[in-house]
Structure 1
Amino acid sequence: MGWLEFIAAWVVFFLTHSLPIRPPMRPWLQHRLGRRGFTLFYSILSLGVLWWLIVAAGRAPYVGLWEWARWQTHVPLAMMLVVCLIAALAIGRPNPFSFGGAQNDRFDPAHAGIVRLTRHPLLLALALWAASHIVPNGDLAHVLLFGTFTLFALFGGRLIDRRRKREMGADWAPLKAEVTSSFANARPASWSGALARLALGVALYGVLLWAHPWLFGVSPLG
């Protein structure tokens, strides 16, 4: 049943990440839940299905691909701090180039923050999370799990770029050029706000360290 659950979790994952965001379901849900309600619903649904997918990978039959060594646990342990900081700087901030942004009409290319360094910060965080977790999880199910997310994060930016180009039309290229014209544009709109977000990122890292054994049954400390 382990492989069947893993396959079922993947099917549900793809369905929940495609159907709710496409017409006619998305307009129907937004009409009944509101935009914020839909965002909250979709976020909770996505996290819940992702949790199931990770748990299902742990329940799948073990097919070892390489031996575990204690040093391998330090790779995700160190990388997850970077992931949390990137996520804290990106979530809820204006970003017309990718997903995860909010109030994109208020985006200031002269104070683009992390968007100056990467148009898709959440995809970068996803790639670092997934790739770093491959190292200490050398079994087939986890390599398939984290490898798929790594590939999606690496190539997903191109798909999003094409979609954003269609949506933004002639505005996409000039705005991209303006954002990347100077490293000074990496300044945040507010240094105090950026520091607060970094502090939240560190706090999130601590929460994940504490909750990891409870959520996934494995301590990240080895």
Structure 2
Amino acid sequence: MSCRTHIPPNGDVVSLILFGGMGLLALAGIPVLDRRARRRLGDGEWATVRAQTSVVPFLALIEGRAHLRMDRDFWLWTGLGLAFYVWFLLQGHRLLIGVDPMAWL
């Protein structure tokens, strides 16, 4: 995600190395975290967890391997996440990083 959102506007080699490296690190971390979880949970429980999840967002839901529970906690955390995202997009990025991502508007 960081590659797609930062390299085109910045367009320099430093951004390519920094954000591309972060993207590669995130992708390389998936099998490492899977291995740790398998070791911690054991083969039987790991197989159960893996059957209900996916690395690809929403794939387990689409395939029917997982079910979305829209309870009170779901709406609470969804609302808080969206509120933080909107704050970061409109003010937080400028305050914390110094660049306004909405300046092009």
- TM-score (norm. length: structure 1): 0.38
What secondary structure, in the 3-state scheme, does the structure 2 residue paired with 1:187 have? coil
Over 3 Å counting, the alpha-carbon distance change for 1:211 and 1:175 in structure 2 is: closer
- Provide the C-alpha distance between the structure 2 equivalents of 1:202 and 1:142, rounded to a whole number of angstroms: 27
4+ runs deviating over 4 angstroms: none
1:217 paired with 2:98, answer yes
- Provide the C-alpha distance between the structure 1 equivalents of 2:47 and 2:65, rounded to a whole number of angstroms: 19
Report deviation, 1:185.
Answer: 2.4
CA deviations on 1:35-55 (whole Å, 9 max, x unpaired) are xxxxxxxxxxxxxxxxxxxxx
- Indicate the residue corresponding to 1:162 in structure 2: 35
**Which residue of the other structure, out of 73, 88, 91, is the alignment partner of 1:208?**
88
Tell me the percent identity. 34
Over 3 Å counting, the alpha-carbon distance change for 1:164 and 1:200 in structure 2 is: same
Contact 1:213 1:220 in 2 (8 A): yes
- Provide the C-alpha distance between the structure 2 equivalents of 1:139 and 1:157, rounded to a whole number of angstroms: 27
Contact 1:131 1:147 in 2 (8 A): no
- Provide the C-alpha distance between the structure 2 equivalents of 1:175 and 1:147, rounded to a whole number of angstroms: 30
Contact 1:133 1:146 in 2 (8 A): yes
Bigger relative contact order, structure 1 or 2, given CA contacts below 8 A and separation 6+? Answer: 1
| One-letter amino acid of the counterpart of residue 86, structure 2 | G
Unaligned segments of structure 1, at least 5 residues: 1-127
Contact 2:2 2:20 in 1 (8 A): no
- Indicate the residue corresponding to 1:195 in structure 2: 75
- Indicate the residue corresponding to 2:48 in structure 1: 174
Contact 2:93 2:101 in 1 (8 A): yes
- Indicate the residue corresponding to 1:134 in structure 2: 7
Unaligned segments of structure 2, at least 5 residues: 54-59
What secondary structure, in the 3-state scheme, does the structure 2 residue paired with 1:198 have? helix
Over 3 Å counting, the alpha-carbon distance change for 1:157 and 1:202 in structure 2 is: same
**Which residue of the other structure, out of 147, 154, 160, is the alignment partner of 2:20?**
147
| One-letter amino acid of the counterpart of residue 220, structure 1 | P
Q: RMSD over aligned Cα, in angstroms? A: 2.1
Question: Counterparts of 1:70-149 in structure 2 under 5 Å?
Answer: 128-149=1-22
